Each structure stands twice: as structure tokens, then as C-alpha cells.
């Protein structure tokens, strides 16, 4: 069995060091074909200072990305997958997959790009090669690098050492071939027609985007947290020194015309011109090797996290290589050679997708630094602004290189993110998202502490008490409808007993979380062990919440059963105590299936006796109910009972003045009671067509709960689903 790293991908048998595993593949990708074929054009077009400024700016972005990678790599145990691993372990599987899947495809396509690049350089050296031969040569190169990589990663990397020597020899040959003297190129420009500073920047920048190559072999390193920062930073430094030297050297050796028109100007300048071509071919070939090694490891990490077929996560038992993923990557690169005979336009798209990965790495580092999770303890610390500038630089470079590809890349990754979000992926590790949310929540709570609260800011933060969630799901549904993402619903499962005698409360909590998730209800579940149910309600109601988010409303359920009268009597006693704590009380008595009628055909009846008599809270809750998905477009009927014509006229004037002010769409009905008709009978008669009824509730004096409960039970008999409401909050009478 292979040893398995975090996330499920097997670790490699290889234990590569810094030089062979990180520095060599990274620096070879940086010192690539652009150095040989494009740096002269950059100097001839932009001038010495223009070229140096472009190189400094490009390397600054790369350096910031390398520093962000280093701070992440030294703060966690890095597994298989390189950049994907770092991003997914900080941003989660969904964002990690949204970046990792395009990254893998870009790495595969890079193999094809470098194969074509090598074939193109062959035609430059041997102009007599027919055009059709490029495709054949590129296909042969893809097959060759895949076969060598499949045989042994270590062998592939060792082959890059002589390539590095060839590149170094070609650079030294160039330096020895210069007749050092006056600079023959302008200090700034001349710029070609329709080619300005940013156009030249877009041509050069891909030269320094090779920092992911060594990182991609993270699972093959003996000590990733040490090798990655050391190898990458040294590679970036060496690349920067070389690129900052070349403009000055070339400016002394050739004129602007020679630099911009002769792609192989190096061969004319170098002391040993014949060393340049092997070095150039070796640079392109090493980049192809780096890509064919990187792609299957990214795929292996994706498979280990169940974002790709599980078989692709396995290493070959004999070689210890991810052979299946490597063969698939080689096959895809070969198919790209057949289907895409001209990859010039595709090159910028690949670079842009790589840049989204670099930008994501910078953002991950920025957020980790700002969040300050206790577990984030990197050995290499980077200022937050450096990582943020690195991310901004990557986005800028994306837009400059190919604006259309930039937009498409972001849209593709957003689409992958939303697709993965629907799969309910479960990670076995913590990530930075919880820390980010906690930091934001802490900031908001600290701000709320100083905020001035007003009736217009009031939101229902509802406590729902239950002793068995399965039967009380309709109660939580009502609370969720009232909250409507504006308030917080907390479900408190009360367990009566002693903590020493109660089974693990986490089992109940997890069961409730599952039920809420399956029911699509948004509530924060809790489990509280209390010695007495009634006293437990009062204790939890006082303790629940924090800063400006304390619970302000308590919701109970009242079912039809033999002891309903006694239960209501008990709840009235609890409501009296909650009123002293300025907590509103809601008692919900369901009746029938309100879901049977479409929401637009439903009616909500609110029995009005004035704002101060619970009317404000009832009307506000009725409005919140009508904006919930299940009650959208339901009709609100505001009904009021009066005894005399004068009272009826006064109530109508009250409604006429209030309704424009509260901006709630309601229909009004004033009912005059005759002396021989009981109020309860009127309420029952005029509530029969409703689907939901709001009734105000008084709080009886201590000792008279039984009598009042009896009257309420008589009133509730035969009514549709009804909510008894008692507004005891600090803004009573002023909520609408």
C-alpha cells in the first residue's frame, strides 16, 4: 500500500532534494525560449531602460508570488499537488478544484506548446524543413518526453542537469562574445507602431512564470517546506540576475534593427555561437519535461480529493510514479498536437490560466496573514501588502496579455466552482474560510457593540426550543420563514437530566444538523443539558447571543393532545418571566396542511387591537412571512373588531394614516360586534378562510394562567394554523 498524504493522494517513493526537485526545473522553465528568441526584440523595441523596467516589474510580480508560495509552504505539511494543494487546503475543495482543474489542463497543453516551440526553433535553424514536419516533430517530442517521464521522474530530472549546463554555457558564451563599449540602443524605445510599453510587457512576462514547476513536484520532495522556498527563491533570483544583465549586454552588441529582426542574434554575438542552439533546444525541452511531470501530479491530487476518477490517484507499484495520470496527460497533449496545428493564439490563454493560479496563491497568503489563525505559523513571513500586490500584479498581467482570455478564465473557474459547490464536497481538513468568516464576524460584532439600535433595525433573532426535532420541524420552518436571512434562528434541543447521566450530546447535535440540512432549513442547532425544562428555557434565553445579536424572541410549539391545556398554561408562565427579560414570546399551534394551497392563493389574517397591543410585531411577522418562498404573494388581511360606529370610523382613520406609513401591502376589514355575539365567535367565523392567523396574547398575572389558558384553548379550537404573539421587546409598539 502507498503511504497516503492529506487529501487522499498517495505520497511518492522519491525523496528529492532542493537542487534536483525544485531549483533545476524552476530555473530551466524561467530561462526558456523567450530568453533566446524574444529578449533581443524586447531590448530593440523598448530600449535599455524600457526593457529593464519591464523585467523589474515582471520579476517583482514573480518574486511576490514566490514569497507567497514560500510562506504557505512553511506553514503546512505540503502534500501531492503543489499549487492545487496549497489553494485547496486554504480556500477549500470548491475553489481549489476551480483553480486546479484548469491548471491541470494548462499544464497538459504546455507540453504541446513546448513541443511545438522546439519544432519551430528547429525550422529556424534549418529553414528547409517543410511546414508539415512541425506537427510530426511536435508529436514525436510529446511521445518522447512522456516515455522518459513514465520510466522515471528522477531520471527525467537528472537529464535536466546537463541541459542546465548547456544553458549556462550559452549565456557565458554570449557574455564573452560582447565587445564591451558604447550602448548602441536608445535608452527608451523606439517603440514599434501599435506596440507600446504594455504590449512588450505582455510578450516578455510569460518568461518569468515558471515558478510553479518545482512546486508541482511537492509530493516527491524529501522536505517540501524547506526545499520549495529555498529552490524557488534561488531560481527567481538567478533568473532575475540573468534577465537584468542581458539587456545591457545586447544593447552593446547590436543595433535596434538587428535585435528586432534577427531571432537568432545570439548565435552571431556569442563567442562560441554553436553553443546557443543546443542551449535553446535544451531550454525548451526541459520546459516540456517540467510540464509532463507537473500535470499528472496535479491530476493525482485532484483524484485524491475525489475531483477526478480515483484510479488516477494511484502510483505504479513498480516505479512509484503516477503512471496512469502521466499516460493520460501525454495522450491529451498528443491529441492537442493533432487537433491544434497552430498554437500561437492558444499560448496566451495558457499563460492567463497559469496566472489565475499565481493570483490565487497570493490571495491565499494575503488572507492567511490577515486572518491570523493560530495554526498559521510560517517560517518565512511576508508582509500582507506584498501578497496583495502580487495578486493585483497577476490580474493586471492577465488583462494585458489577453483581456478576452482573462474574462473567459474567470468565468470558467466560476462555473467550475458553482458546479463543485452543488456536489456537497466534504474535506477532512480545516481551511482558511472559517478563519476569514470568524475575522469578519468579530469585526462586525465589535462594530455592533458601538452601534445605536433603533426600531427600524430590529430583526427577529428567534430561539426555538425542542425536545425532539423530527416532530418539531414545522416549528423550525415557521421560524425560518420569519427570519428570511434577516435574523438568526437558533434551535435549542433541551435535554433534561444531569450531564453525567446523559449520552454524548454531540450525537444529538449531529443528528439535528443532518435533519436541518436535509430539510433545507437555516438554523444554528445547539444542545443544552438542563435540570428542569422550564428553568432551562429561562437560562438559555438569557445566555443566548452575543454583542448585538442576542435572541429577542422565543418560539414554542403547541400541538393538539390531551395535555395541551396544561402545556399552554405552563407556557404562559414562562412568557410572563420572559417579558421581564424583554423577550418576545410566540406560541405556534399548527392546524392542517397549509402547503396544499399555492402561495399566491393563501391568506394571512392579523387580528389588530392597536400597535401597543402586539399589533406591530404581528404585522411585521406577517410581512416577513409573505416574502418567504413558501408564502410569497400571500394576501395579508388586517382585521379589527369594534363595538360602536364611532369606534369603527376611528379605526378606519387609524388604518388610513398607518398603512401608507408602514409600506406593507394589506387589505383592511373593520368588523362591528353586536351585543349578542361573542368576540371569540367573531374571530373564529372571520378566520375560517385564512391559512395563517396572528392573534395577540396577554400575559396573565401569576396564579391566573389556568383561567386564561382555558379561554385561549376555546378560542383556538377550529382555527387554522395560529400564532399567539406577545411583544415584550424594548421597541414594543414601534416596530411598524
**434 three-state secondary structure:** helix
Per-residue confidence (pLDDT) for residue 394, from 0 to 100: 87
The grid coordinates of residue 259 equal 535585435
Residue 481, CB-side half-sphere exposure with 13 Å CA sphere: 22
**What does the pLDDT average to over 153-165?**
84
Q: Report yes or no: 405 and 127 within 8 Å, Cβ to Cβ.
A: no
Per-residue confidence (pLDDT) for residue 4, from 0 to 100: 38
Task: Name the average pLDDT for the chain.
Answer: 82
Per-residue confidence (pLDDT) for residue 607, from 0 to 100: 92
Q: What percent of the chain has a predicted confidence (pLDDT) above 70?
A: 89
Residue 2 binned pLDDT confidence (cut-offs 50, 70, 90): very low
Q: Which residues pair with 492 in a beta bridge?
A: 465, 526
Q: Any idea where the domains of the chain sit in the sequence?
A: 18-432, 591-721
pLDDT tens by residue, 559-597: 877 788 888 999 999 999 999 988 999 999 988 655 567
- Only one residue has cell 511518492, namely 12
CA distance 153 to 320: 9
Q: Report yes or no: 266 and 283 within 8 Å, Cβ to Cβ.
A: no
Residue 497 binned pLDDT confidence (cut-offs 50, 70, 90): confident
Give 319: exposed, middle or buried? Use CB within 10 Å, 0-12, 13-18, 19+: middle
Using CA atoms, how far residue 576 sits from 207, 464, 538, 580, 632, in Å, is: 74, 17, 11, 7, 33
**84 three-state secondary structure:** helix
Task: Indicate left, alpha or beta for 87 from its phi (over 0: left) and psi (-120 to 50: alpha).
Answer: alpha
Full-prediction pTM beyond 0.85? no
Give 245: exposed, middle or buried? Use CB within 10 Å, 0-12, 13-18, 19+: middle
pLDDT tens by residue, 395-437: 888 888 888 888 988 888 888 888 877 765 554 445 555 655 6
**What does the pLDDT average to over 480-501?**
82
* Per-residue pLDDT at 454 exceeds 70: no
DSSP code string of 348-417: HHHHHHHHHHHHHHHHHHHHHHHH--TT---SS---HHHHHHHHHHHHHHHHHH-HHHHHHHHHHHHHHH
Tell me the CATH number for domain 18-432. Answer: 1.20.1740.10
**What is the SS3 string spanning 598-614?**
CHHHCEEEEECCCHHHH
* Per-residue pLDDT at 193 exceeds 90: no
Least confident range of 42-46, 59-63, 404-408, 456-460: 456-460
DSSP code string of 670-713: EEEPPTTS-HHHHHHHTTTT-SEEEEE---PPTT-HHHHHHHHH
Task: Kindly state the helix (H) or strand (E) to which residue 70 belongs, with its residue range.
Answer: helix 39-73
Using CA atoms, how far residue 581 sits from 349, 405, 491, in Å, is: 62, 59, 19
Q: Report yes or no: 294 and 301 within 8 Å, Cβ to Cβ.
A: no
Closest CA to 87 of 213, 216, 206: 216
pLDDT tens by residue, 212-248: 787 777 777 888 888 888 988 999 999 999 999 999 9
pLDDT tens by residue, 524-553: 888 888 888 888 888 888 888 776 678 889
Q: Are strands 721-726 and 584-589 parallel, antiparallel or unpaired?
A: antiparallel
Give 550: exposed, middle or buried? Use CB within 10 Å, 0-12, 13-18, 19+: middle
Q: Report yes or no: 555 and 462 within 8 Å, Cβ to Cβ.
A: yes
Residue 450 binned pLDDT confidence (cut-offs 50, 70, 90): low
**Can you state the angle between helices 344-371 and 93-125, rounded to 10 degrees?**
140
Task: Kindly state the helix (H) or strand (E) to which residue 589 belongs, with its residue range.
Answer: strand 584-589
* Per-residue pLDDT at 76 exceeds 50: yes
**501 three-state secondary structure:** coil
Other CB atoms within a 10 A radius of the CB of residue 667 amount to: 11
Task: Kindly state the helix (H) or strand (E) to which residue 158 belongs, with its residue range.
Answer: helix 153-176
pLDDT tens by residue, 321-377: 788 888 888 898 888 888 876 666 667 778 888 888 888 888 888 888 877 666 677
* Per-residue pLDDT at 441 exceeds 90: no
Residues 6+ apart with CB under 8 A from 708: 572, 698, 700
Residue 3 binned pLDDT confidence (cut-offs 50, 70, 90): very low
Q: Are strands 553-557 and 721-726 parallel, antiparallel or unpaired?
A: unpaired
Q: Report yes or no: 358 and 67 within 8 Å, Cβ to Cβ.
A: no
Residues in the chain: 736
Per-residue confidence (pLDDT) for residue 575, from 0 to 100: 92
Other CB atoms within a 10 A radius of the CB of residue 672 amount to: 14
Per-residue confidence (pLDDT) for residue 5, from 0 to 100: 42
* Per-residue pLDDT at 615 exceeds 80: yes
Residue 20 is given by DSSP the state I
Can you list the alpha helix ranges (DSSP code H) found in 451-523?
Answer: 469-483, 505-519
User: Distance of alpha carbon 90 from its chain centroid, rounded?
Assistant: 10
The grid coordinates of residue 47 equal 530600449
Q: What percent of the chain has a predicted confidence (pLDDT) above 90?
A: 12
Q: Are strands 667-672 and 489-496 parallel, antiparallel or unpaired?
A: unpaired
Work out whether the CA dihedral 328, 329, 333, 336 comes out positive or negative: positive
At the top level of CATH, the class of 591-721 is: alpha beta
- Only one residue has cell 401569576, namely 702
Q: Report yes or no: 260 and 45 within 8 Å, Cβ to Cβ.
A: yes
**What does the pLDDT average to over 60-85?**
83
Amino acid at each position: 500500500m502507498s503511504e497516503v498524504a492529506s487529501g487522499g493522494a498517495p505520497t511518492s517513493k522519491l525523496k528529492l532534494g532542493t537542487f534536483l526537485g525544485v531549483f533545476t526545473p524552476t530555473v530551466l522553465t524561467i530561462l526558456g525560449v523567450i530568453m533566446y528568441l524574444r529578449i533581443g526584440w524586447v531590448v530593440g523595441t523598448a530600449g535599455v531602460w524600457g526593457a529593464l523596467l519591464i523585467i523589474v516589474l515582471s520579476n517583482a510580480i514573480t518574486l511576490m508570488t514566490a514569497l507567497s508560495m514560500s510562506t504557505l509552504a512553511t506553514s503546512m505539511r505540503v502534500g501531492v499537488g503543489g499549487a492545487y494543494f496549497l489553494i485547496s487546503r486554504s480556500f477549500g475543495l470548491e475553489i481549489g478544484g476551480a483553480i486546479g482543474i484548469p491548471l491541470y489542463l494548462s499544464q497538459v497543453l504546455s507540453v504541446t506548446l513546448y513541443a511545438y516551440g522546439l519544432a519551430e526553433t528547429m525550422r529556424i535553424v534549418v529553414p528547409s524543413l517543410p511546414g508539415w514536419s512541425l506537427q510530426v516533430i511536435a508529436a514525436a517530442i510529446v511521445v518522447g518526453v512522456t516515455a522518459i517521464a513514465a520510466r522515471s521522474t528522477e531520471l527525467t530530472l537528472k537529464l535536466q542537469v546537463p541541459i542546465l549546463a548547456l544553458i549556462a554555457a550559452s549565456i557565458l558564451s554570449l557574455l564573452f562574445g560582447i565587445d564591451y563599449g558604447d550602448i548602441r540602443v536608445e535608452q527608451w524605445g523606439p517603440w514599434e507602431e501599435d506596440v507600446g510599453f504594455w504590449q512588450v510587457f505582455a510578450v516578455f512576462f510569460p518568461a518569468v512564470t515558471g515558478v510553479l514547476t518545482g512546486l508541482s513536484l511537492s509530493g516527491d520532495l524529501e522536505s517540501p517546506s524547506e526545499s520549495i522556498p529555498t529552490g524557488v527563491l534561488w531560481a527567481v533570483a538567478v533568473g532575475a540576475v540573468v534577465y537584468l544583465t542581458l539587456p545591457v549586454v545586447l544593447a552593446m552588441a547590436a543595433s535596434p534593427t538587428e535585435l528586432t529582426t534577427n531571432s537568432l542574434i545570439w548565435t552571431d554575438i556569442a563567442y562560441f555561437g554553436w553553443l546557443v542552439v543546443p542551449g535553446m533546444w535544451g531550454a525548451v525541452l526541459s520546459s516540456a519535461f517540467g510540464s509532463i511531470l507537473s500535470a499528472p501530479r496535479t491530476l493525482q491530487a485532484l483524484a485524491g480529493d475525489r475531483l477526478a476518477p480515483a484510479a488516477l490517484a494511484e502510483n505504479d507499484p513498480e516505479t512509484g510514479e503516477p503512471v496512469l495520470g502521466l499516460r493520460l496527460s501525454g495522450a491529451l497533449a498528443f491529441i492537442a498536437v493533432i487537433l491544434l496545428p497552430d498554437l500561437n493564439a492558444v499560448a496566451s490563454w495558457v499563460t492567463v490560466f497559469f496566472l489565475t493560479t499565481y493570483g490565487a496563491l497570493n490571495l491565499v497568503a494575503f488572507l492567511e496573514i490577515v486572518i491570523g489563525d493560530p495554526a498559521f505559523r510560517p517560517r518565512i513571513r511576508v508582509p500582507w501588502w506584498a501578497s496583495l500586490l502580487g495578486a493585483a500584479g497577476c490580474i493586471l498581467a492577465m488583462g494585458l496579455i489577453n483581456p478576452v482570455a482573462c474574462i473567459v478564465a474567470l468565468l470558467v473557474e466560476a462555473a467550475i466552482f458553482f458546479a463543485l459547490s452543488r456536489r456537497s464536497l466534504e474535506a477532512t481538513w480545516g481551511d482558511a474560510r472559517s478563519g476569514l468568516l470568524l475575522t469578519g464576524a468579530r469585526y462586525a460584532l465589535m462594530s455592533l457593540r458601538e452601534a445605536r439600535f433603533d426600531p427600524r433595525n430590529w430583526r427577529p433573532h428567534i430561539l426555538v426550543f425542542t425536545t425532539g426535532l423530527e416532530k418539531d420541524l414545522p416549528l423550525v420552518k415557521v421560524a425560518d420563514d420569519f427570519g428570511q436571512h434577516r435574523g438568526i434562528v437558533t434551535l435549542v434541543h433541551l435535554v433534561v437530566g444531569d450531564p453525567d447521566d446523559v449520552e454524548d450530546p454531540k450525537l444529538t447535535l449531529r443528528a439535528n444538523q443532518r435533519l436541518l440540512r436535509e430539510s433545507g432549513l437555516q438554523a444554528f442547532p445547539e444542545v443544552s443539558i438542563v435540570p428542569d425544562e422550564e428553568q432551562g428555557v429561562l437560562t438559555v434565553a438569557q445566555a443566548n447571543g452575543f454583542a448585538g445579536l442576542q435572541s429577542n424572541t422565543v418560539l414554542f410549539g403547541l400541538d393538539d393532545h390531551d395535555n395541551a391545556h396544561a402545556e399552554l398554561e405552563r407556557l404562559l408562565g414562562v412568557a410572563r418571566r420572559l417579558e421581564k427579560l424583554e423577550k418576545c414570546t410566540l406560541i405556534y399551534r399548527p392546524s392542517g396542511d397549509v402547503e396544499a394551497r399555492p402561495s399566491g392563493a393563501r391568506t394571512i389574517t392579523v387580528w389588530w387591537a392597536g400597535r401597543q397591543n402586539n399589533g406591530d410585531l404581528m404585522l411585521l411577522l406577517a410581512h416577513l412571512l409573505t416574502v418567504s418562498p413558501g408564502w410569497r404573494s400571500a394576501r395579508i388581511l388586517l382585521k379589527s373588531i369594534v363595538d360602536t360606529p364611532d369606534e369603527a370610523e376611528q379605526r378606519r382613520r387609524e388604518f388610513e394614516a398607518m398603512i401608507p406609513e408602514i409600506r406593507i401591502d394589506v387589505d383592511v376589514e373593520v368588523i362591528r360586534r353586536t351585543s349578542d355575539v361573542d368576540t371569540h365567535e367573531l374571530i373564529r367565523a372571520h378566520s375560517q378562510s385564512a391559512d395563517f392567523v396572528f392573534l395577540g396574547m396577554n400575559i396573565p398575572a401569576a396564579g391566573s394562567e389556568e383561567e386564561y389558558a382555558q379561554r385561549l384553548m376555546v378560542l383556538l379550537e377550529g382555527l387554522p394554523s395560529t400564532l399567539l404573539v406577545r411583544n415584550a421587546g424594548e421597541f414594543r409598539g414601534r416596530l411598524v
